[in-house]
Structures are given as C-alpha cells and as structure tokens.
Amino acid sequence: MKDLDFMARAIELAKKGQLKVQPNPMVGCVIVKNNKIIGEGWHREYGKDHAEINAIKNCKKKFGVKKALKLIAGSNVYVNLEPCSIEKNTPPCSNALIEYQIKKLFCGTLDPNPKINGRGIKLLKKAGIETSVGMLNQECKELNRVFFTNQKKSRPYIILKSAQSLDGKIALQSGESNWISNPESRKNSHHIRSKVKGILVGRNTAEQDNPSLTVRLTSNELGLGKGEAIKQPVKIILGRLKKSKKVSKIFAGNSQIIIGSKESAKKSKNIEYLEYKKKNFLEEFLQDLLDRDISSILVEGGQKTLNAFIVNNLFDELVLYTAPMFLGKGSKDALSVNSPDTIRTSMKLKMVRLERFKEDIKTTYYNENL
C-alpha cells in the first residue's frame, strides 16, 4: 500500500463518527509499521477518546501492550486532521504521539481552530518527529466542512432545503403543499436531518404545517449499531411561537426547543427563548446557537425564512428536490429574492451533486469552497 492509501483509509474511518461527534470534527487514524497497518481508530463520540488514542488502543488489543509499544515506536501515523494540542474533554493527542515515539506523521490538513492551527505540528517537530501536511488536502477539508465553517465563520454550518415543482413552486395558492416530493426524496431528507444538530423553520411554517421536525428513520436505516439511540436534532424556531394545539407536534414530548425572536419569555424545562433587540438578529442568533454546540442547522422553510438566509448570505449549502409537476401561476414560489442589478453581480453557487429518487431530482449546491 502507498501513503495515499493509508490516508484514504483514515478518511474512511473518520466517516464512521458522522452521527455522533459534532461539534467535534470527524477524524480517523491509521498506524503503519513496515508498510502494514498495526492499529486504526476513529473519533467515535463527542467527549470520548480521539482517533489517535483509539488507534493506539486498537494496536494494544491486537498485539498485547508489550509488543504494541515496540511496534508503535518508529511507526508512521496517518490522520486526516492535525492532532490536537490543547486539553479540553480529552488529553492532547500530539502529546500521546510523542510519548509513543512515532517516527513520522502524515496529516491531511491543519486544524482551523486558531488555538490549535499548526501548534500540534510544531510540538511534534520539536520532539524530532517528521511531519508531512497536505496529503488528500481537499478530501480532508470536504469531510469536515461543518467544523471548518464553525471555526472560520463563528456560526453553524447552514443547509437550506426545499422541495419544489418544475416551475419553482412550493405550494398551491390555497397553501396545500403535501406532498410535492415523493417518499424516496422525503426519506433522503431525513438522512440529512440525522446529520445536523438542529432543524430550523420560521414561525409561519410552524403554525401552518405543525411539523414534527424529527428524524423518522430506524437505527438500521441510519447504520447505527444494535441498541444505539437516535439523537434527535434541536428544534429551532425563528420568530415568537407559543404553545397551542396547532403546533402540538413541535412541543410534543421532551424535545429540546430554542426560539429566537424580539419578544421575551420565561425558559421552561426544555424550551429556551432568546430575545433580540435588533430587527435583523439572524447573525447574532446563529452565533448564540453555535455557543450552545449547535454546529450545523438544516433550514426547512418557509419562503420568508429561506429568503432571509439567502439575502444575508448566511448559508453554506442549498439542497433542492424537484418533482416532475407544474403548480402554475398564482402558486407560492420556493424563493423570492430581489433581482440583482446585473447578471455579473448575481449570487452564483457551485453544483456539487445531482441525485435521482425515482422521478424526483435532488440537486446540491455549495455557496463557496472552503
């Protein structure tokens, strides 16, 4: 195997933590001696051991502690993200790599966290460990788009999602919108829900549709192990929303709910109200959500809410499910942003994926590259 193969394996391992590590990044680690993998691991869950520690433990489990110590000394280590160098929930991984006397570290990308950025690499170099940074760099950054956005923009990673007709409509004039997309598309959208920390809708959508805002897939469909619980996203409402029968699904059970508006209200057991004085408080609201470890948000509407994120350029990804139907003149548009002065000055997105769910087409766009 080549160096690139070992880094690709680290990325593959990192993906296994996708549903459980946010707001931490996904990280995989491969330990190699004499061109053979002697240990591998990934960051499994927020607050638990990081990938490097799990890889070391894996090596000890395979060979026994005594032999593992000899094997790890002088080995090469492959990680998709720079080893941490500060103590938070766990000890610094860079210290562990130094302690176990590895020979060389291959790192896909530096950690964007300004408190770490390059610090881990410097510590390893100071200890006499060779380092190589940049292998499969773009793939490593793509893997952790959420984490990079959190660190660079001090806000959650924002995905805007809408289901529309061929003529760009989301509902009839009467307000009827169930169901534009087909069951396969809706199932796919639940997979997106499972990967974010929060789902956001505007007050009007909450009152008109009474959505559950939950992940309705089985553990098996999500690839979780037997007995592993499905972590439900936080329900986020933009605009003052009061408990009533017409929003019963949102307030059902012990769901964690955060409501951001210009009006205050008392915090209850599982509902937090955030009050803002500014008319446009969206950016401040997002920063407050990140402070609460809500590192990624799926915005599901309605039109006014989606427009607010677009106009303020507060989004990273746009997902459109297009169904093969026409809803016609007078029906509600999916989006309604103001026209630019010229084509040249219009906001342009990058299409990154095109998928098909029976007759529906799902298109994924990025707002900008990392």
User: Of residues 40, 52, 82, 317, which has the active-site annotation?
Assistant: 52
Please count the other Cβ atoms lying within 10 Å of the Cβ belonging to residue 122. 12
- What's 233's DSSP letter? P
DSSP string, 71-119: HHTT-EEEEEEPPP-S-SSS--HHHHHHHTT-SEEEEEE----TTTTTH
Is 359 annotated as catalytic?
Answer: no
Say how far apart CA 267 and CA 281 lie, in whole Å. 19
Query: Is the dihedral angle over the CA atoms 290, 268, 193, 282 positive or is it negative?
Result: negative
Say how far apart CA 19 and CA 7 lie, in whole Å. 21
- 3-state SS, residue 264: coil
For residue 190, give every residue at least 6 positions away whose Cβ sits within 8 Å of its Cβ, in sequence order, or none: 215, 216, 217
Residue 5's closest CA among 145, 81, 106, 132? 106
DSSP string, 44-62: -STTS--HHHHHHHHHHHH
Q: Enumerate the active-site residues.
A: 52
